[in-house]
Amino acid sequence: MSMTDENSERIVIRGLRGIAAATTQISFVDPLGALYYSGYNIDDLVNQATYEEVVFLLLNNRLPTQTELNDLKSQLYSEMKLPKKVVERIRDASPTCHPMEVLRTEISHLGEFDPEPDETSDEANKRRAIRIIAKVPTLISFLYRTRSNLDAITPLKEYSFAENFLYMFRGKPADQQEKSAMERYMILHADHGMNASTFAARVTAGTGSDLYSAVTSAVGTLKGSFHGGASERVMAMLYEINSIDEVEHYIQTMLDDNKKIMGFGHRVYRSEDPRSKHLRVMAENLCHQRDTIAIYNKSKKIEATVHDKKGIFPNVDFYAALVMHALGVPREFFTAFFACSRVTGWTAHVLEQYVDAVLIRPTSKYTGEFGRKFVPLSERT
Ligand code: COA
C-alpha cells in the first residue's frame, strides 16, 4: 500500500469525540449523568468531604487518614507563599490583560523557582503538585488585589484551603454559607475525566516535560470559551438580557443565528451535568441571601427555555457563574477560579501520565495536494 493510499484510508474522528486516549483511575464521567472521583460519587464527596480530602484522593487514589490530612493541610499552608519575583511580575502585568493570561505566564514562571528542579521521582512530583495547587489561589488573589489597589492578605492557619482562598481574594472572612459554597465549588471543579485542558496537560507530560509546563498548557486550554471561559460568557449573557420577559426572544435569536448558548451542552453528558444540581442549589441559596434573586430567576427561565427549544441542559459553567457572582467575584476572574480548583485534577493526571510514560502523538489525514512543482521566488507571479 502506498503512503498516499494509507493516508486516504485514515479515519478522522473530528474532535476525538468518543476516543479513549488513556486509561485512568482518577475520575469517570458517566454520560448518563454521574461523576466519580477515584470511585467516589461526586454527590457523596460534595456533601461529606473537604476540598483537602479531595486533593489527597485525586493525587493518591484513596482518602487520607486524619494524620495524612493534617500533613497535607500543613504542606498546602506552607506552600501558599509566592516567590518574590513572581509577586513583582504580577504587579508589573498589563492592567488590561485577562487574569488567565497572567496565570498562564506565572505558572510557567513558578517553574524557575522550584526548590528541587532535578528531582523527578514520583514523590518529588507529588510535592511539586502540592506546591502548584497551593500557590495558584494566592497568585489569583494577589493579582485581583493588586489591580484593585488593595493590600495583599496573609492566609490564616485555622482556615480551610477554600476559605483562605476567598479570604485572600476578598479580604474579609466568609460567612458559613459562603464557606460552604466555596468548599463545594472547589470540590465540584477539581477534576472531570479527559476534558480538553486535562488532555493538553497529559499531552505535554507525555513528552516527558515537567509539571509546570503541563499545567501551563492546561491553563491556556481552559481559557477558551468552549471550555472554562464559558462561565464569564454566561455572566455577560445574564447582563445582556435585561429582564425575564426578554429571555425567550434572546434565546430564540441566538438559536436562529446558530450561536451557542454559553453554559449549555456537553461533549459527554447526554442528560444533566451532575455538578449542575449542586451549583443550582448553591446559587439559589446565595442569591436569596444576597438579594440577587432577580438574576437567579432569569437563569431558571433561561434553563427552561434552552431545554424546551433545544433539549440540552446546563453544564457546570452555568450555575457556577451565579455562585461566583453571588460570592462577589468579578466576572473576569471566573475562569481563574475554575483553574484554582482544576489544577488539582491536572496535576493528578500528569502524575498518572508519567507512570504510563507514553508519547501521545496521533496522526492526521492529509487533504492537501501532492507533487506540486516548486517555483523559485523570482519566477512567482
Ligand atoms: N447552544 C446551542 N446549541 C448547542 C449548544 C449550546 N450551548 N451545545 C450544543 N448544542 C447543539 C449542537 O449545535 C448540536 O445541535 P444539532 O444537532 O442541531 O447540530 C447539538 O446540540 C449536539 O451538540 P454536540 O455536537 O453534541 O456538542 P459538542 O460536543 O460538539 O460541543 C460544547 C460541546 C460544550 C463545546 C458545546 O455544547 C458548547 O459550545 N457549549 C457552550 C460553551 C460551554 O458552555 N462550554 C463549557 C462546557 S463544560
Residue 249 is among the residues annotated as catalytic for this protein: no
Give the count of domains, the chain.
2
Instruction: Assess if residue 235 is contained within a domain.
Output: yes
Instruction: Assess if residue 366 is contained within a domain.
Output: no
Distance 14 CA to ligand 1 centre (A): 14
Contacts of 126 (CB under 8 A, 6+ apart): 59, 351
Distance 19 CA to ligand 1 centre (A): 18
- The closest residue, in CA terms, to atom 11 on ligand 1 is 265
Q: Clarify whether residues 59 and 184 are in a common domain.
A: yes
Cell output for 347: 496535576
Percent of the chain with pLDDT over 90: 96
For 27-57, the pLDDT digits (tens) are 999 999 999 999 999 999 999 999 999 999 9
- The closest residue, in CA terms, to atom 35 on ligand 1 is 226
Q: Clarify whether residues 42 and 141 are in a common domain.
A: yes
Residue 98 is among the residues annotated as catalytic for this protein: no
Q: How far is CA 68 from CA 186, 193, 246, in A?
A: 20, 25, 52
Work out which ligand 1 atom sits closest to the CA atom of 260: 1
Decide if pLDDT at 215 tops 80.
yes
Give me the domain span that covers residue 352: 23-224+333-356
User: What distance in Å separates the CA atoms of residue 239 and residue 233, rounded to the nearest whole number?
Assistant: 10
Distance 224 CA to ligand 1 centre (A): 14
Provide residues with CB under 6 Å of ligand 1.
226-227, 230, 260-267, 310, 312, 315-317
Distance 228 CA to ligand 1 centre (A): 14
For 305-360, the pLDDT digits (tens) are 999 999 999 999 999 999 999 999 999 999 999 999 999 999 999 999 999 999 99
Identify the pLDDT of residue 135: 98
For 226-251, the pLDDT digits (tens) are 999 999 999 999 999 999 999 999 99
Amino acid code (one letter) for 282: M
For 115-140, the pLDDT digits (tens) are 999 999 999 999 999 999 999 999 99
Average pLDDT, whole number, for the chain?
96
- The closest residue, in CA terms, to atom 36 on ligand 1 is 265
Task: With cut-offs at 50, 70 and 90, classify the pLDDT of residue 3.
Answer: confident
Q: Clarify whether residues 161 and 44 are in a common domain.
A: yes
Q: Clarify whether residues 141 and 190 are in a common domain.
A: yes
Task: With cut-offs at 50, 70 and 90, classify the pLDDT of residue 289.
Answer: confident
Instruction: Assess if residue 7 is contained within a domain.
Output: no
Q: Clarify whether residues 123 and 263 are in a common domain.
A: no
Amino acid code (one letter) for 278: H
Residue 41's SS3 state is: strand
Work out which ligand 1 atom sits closest to the CA atom of 195: 48
Instruction: Assess if residue 5 is contained within a domain.
Output: no
- Determine which one of 266, 278, 325, 349 is catalytic: 266
- The closest residue, in CA terms, to atom 6 on ligand 1 is 260
Q: Clarify whether residues 300 and 346 are in a common domain.
A: no
Distance 324 CA to ligand 1 centre (A): 23
Contacts of 156 (CB under 8 A, 6+ apart): 164, 167
Instruction: Assess if residue 370 is contained within a domain.
Output: no
Q: Which of 340, 358, 349, 341 lies closest to 61, judged by CA?
A: 349
Q: Clarify whether residues 163 and 261 are in a common domain.
A: no
Mean predicted confidence (pLDDT) in 93-101:
96
Instruction: Assess if residue 361 is contained within a domain.
Output: no
- Determine which one of 191, 317, 325, 349 is catalytic: 317
Tell me the residue ranges of DSSP E strands in 9-55.
27-30, 34-37, 40-41
**Partners of 36 in the β-ladder:** 28, 41
Decide if pLDDT at 293 tops 80.
yes
Decide if pLDDT at 287 tops 80.
yes
Q: Clarify whether residues 50 and 156 are in a common domain.
A: yes
Contacts of 341 (CB under 8 A, 6+ apart): 51, 185, 186, 187, 188, 189, 190
Q: Clarify whether residues 135 and 188 are in a common domain.
A: yes
The CATH number of residue 352's host domain is 1.10.580.10
Start-end of H helices in the chain: 3-8, 42-48, 51-60, 66-78, 84-92, 99-110, 122-147, 161-170, 176-188, 196-206, 211-222, 230-240, 247-256, 274-290, 293-310, 316-326, 334-356
The CATH number of residue 311's host domain is 1.10.230.10
Q: Clarify whether residues 319 and 337 are in a common domain.
A: no
Q: Clarify whether residues 43 and 166 are in a common domain.
A: yes
- The closest residue, in CA terms, to atom 28 on ligand 1 is 267
Radius of gyration of the chain (CA): 22
Work out which ligand 1 atom sits closest to the CA atom of 234: 44
Q: Clarify whether residues 200 and 245 are in a common domain.
A: no
Question: Maximum distance among all alpha carbons in the chain?
Answer: 76
Instruction: Assess if residue 268 is contained within a domain.
Output: yes
Instruction: Assess if residue 146 is contained within a domain.
Output: yes
